[in-house]
Structure 1
């Protein structure tokens, strides 16, 4: 049985297995603080590289472009050479994943690198699953264009970013946390809060001359007080939502992993049993956490703006978005990310001028 080494202010005992490494934990009476965050370095690192054959069309250039924003690169690193880098936990251990495109959009091949203290078969298999899920690399999208081409407006939007995929977050808890953080605030401020949270309570993985942040483990967030997040500019409500979510997961009250085996409707219902999670948040998690291709967060203001302007010449309502989206079944999630991304292209075109359009489209 796990040994209890800390008790929170509600009298609950936290087992040793549920806490971060004791080398970086300072117990201050009623809370557990991680100060400073640990650096995972000073040990030899193994590297391994492998390939994933993605399903065409696969527009890796557009995917990277969508991540080249302050919000898109809170933890992701996109190099000038066109490589994606992200520190994640694989089999419970910190690892760096790198992804670059070696093939073409019509014959896509991803070259994946994984660096960790030990890269055995289990870690490599975990890295493969993670990359495939994050980029929906092997998803069969053969029926998508048959659906989209029946809607002239949607088809024109798809052609601007043909092969684009919904980019998922590599960790389901992080996806839910990110959705909660982003409720009713600008993406820029949400990214600021997420970075502050990660810098304060996450680990750091040092690889060669670079350092990469890892999103805080569920156990670490569960050990915090709401006041810890208030100090990072979180609202009181969101601090409560996030800490309570983490505690419910750690205690087993909410089975996070069970969401993977549920249908989209079932998973949405389960998510909405959590305090602070409504329909928009649940649909966002379905898309960017669980990878459901048909989930569209119709309550999203940016989505309503983009779709409304294209079809009505004005802001659309949530009901209008849902009605329009029925024609995109079962690819409504792909449609959503296309609308989000083409808004980004329009913003870049306006900023850089018409001459930049050919490079973006």
Structure 2
């Protein structure tokens, strides 16, 4: 079994200090919680597969499936995944739709029709646009790539239920409108990704 290399999202005092000053409620939560680590996958292809697996399922289920995939499929590289049968990928515990999506992306990369490295040269909206043009990938998956792989500093995803739930818990809200969400997101900018890391943690507390 070849384990995918991970690391923690890189942030420090500068981001924490800014967020504490920008939003007193979030600041109080940060002080109380201390440092929260977010494990990320620096490899673009492995992170994209992980993000596809994570669509519409719980974090715990993702963990189980991800471990099984690495065990059954081996190296999480386009070369290796491109030669698997969709049924074999599906047998790790994902839907056939996700399995086909993962296989198609691996084959597209292998055929030289997609270069994930080019994402590093693009802005956040461009990355979202580029990835969303691939079948089976929408804005949420692209935003997860921006945070959980590329470590972009300012991403707060409206499409992420846990982030919205974290906001509602933090600010004691029964509902959250898009307008309210955008106001908070603007307050966190340019360090929205670190705010997201705390909001995820708050939502699961």
Q: Distance in 1 between matches of 2:178 and 2:159?
A: 5
**Counterpart residue number, 2:8:** 135
Q: CA deviation at 1:312?
A: 4.3
1:330 aligns with 2:186: no
1:266 aligns with 2:126: yes
The number of aligned residues is 205
Going from structure 1 to structure 2, the CA distance change for 1:251 and 1:147 (only over 3 Å counts) comes to same
**Counterpart residue number, 1:153:** 25
Going from structure 1 to structure 2, the CA distance change for 1:146 and 1:196 (only over 3 Å counts) comes to closer
Given that 1:303 and 1:340 are in contact with CA atoms closer than 8 Å, whether structure 2 keeps it comes out as yes
Q: CA deviation at 1:166?
A: 4.2
Q: Distance in 2 between matches of 1:201 and 1:162?
A: 38
**Counterpart residue number, 1:255:** 115
Given that 2:26 and 2:170 are in contact with CA atoms closer than 8 Å, whether structure 1 keeps it comes out as no
1:291 aligns with 2:163: no
Q: Distance in 1 between matches of 2:99 and 2:199?
A: 31
Q: Distance in 2 between matches of 1:232 and 1:167?
A: 22
Question: What secondary structure is seen at the aligned counterpart in 2 of 1:305?
Answer: helix
Which structure 2 residues correspond to residues 1-361 of structure 1 after superposition, within 5 A? Answer: 88=5, 134-137=7-10, 142=14, 144-164=16-36, 166-202=38-74, 215-317=75-177, 320-344=180-204, 346=205
Given that 1:161 and 1:342 are in contact with CA atoms closer than 8 Å, whether structure 2 keeps it comes out as no
Q: Distance in 2 between matches of 1:288 and 1:183?
A: 14
Given that 2:19 and 2:26 are in contact with CA atoms closer than 8 Å, whether structure 1 keeps it comes out as no
Gaps of 5+ in 1: 1-36, 39-74, 76-86, 89-130, 203-214, 347-361
Q: Normalized per residue, which structure has more helix?
A: 2
Q: Normalized per residue, which structure has more strand?
A: 1
After superposition, the C-alpha distances for 1:312-346 in whole angstroms (9 at most, x for unaligned) are 432435554233211110011100001112344x3
Question: What secondary structure is seen at the aligned counterpart in 1 of 2:39?
Answer: coil
Gaps of 5+ in 2: none
Q: Distance in 1 between matches of 2:105 and 2:180?
A: 32
After superposition, the C-alpha distances for 1:37-75 in whole angstroms (9 at most, x for unaligned) are 68xxxxxxxxxxxxxxxxxxxxxxxxxxxxxxxxxxxx5
Q: CA deviation at 1:136?
A: 4.5
After superposition, the C-alpha distances for 1:104-153 in whole angstroms (9 at most, x for unaligned) are xxxxxxxxxxxxxxxxxxxxxxxxxxx8xx3344x565255234323111
Task: Say which one has the larger Rg.
Answer: 1
Stretches of 4+ aligned residues off by more than 6 angstroms: none
Alignment RMSD = 2.3
Q: CA deviation at 1:230?
A: 2.3
TM (normalized to structure 1)? 0.52
Q: Distance in 2 between matches of 1:235 and 1:227?
A: 10
Going from structure 1 to structure 2, the CA distance change for 1:246 and 1:160 (only over 3 Å counts) comes to farther
TM (normalized to structure 2)? 0.88
Question: What secondary structure is seen at the aligned counterpart in 2 of 1:277?
Answer: coil
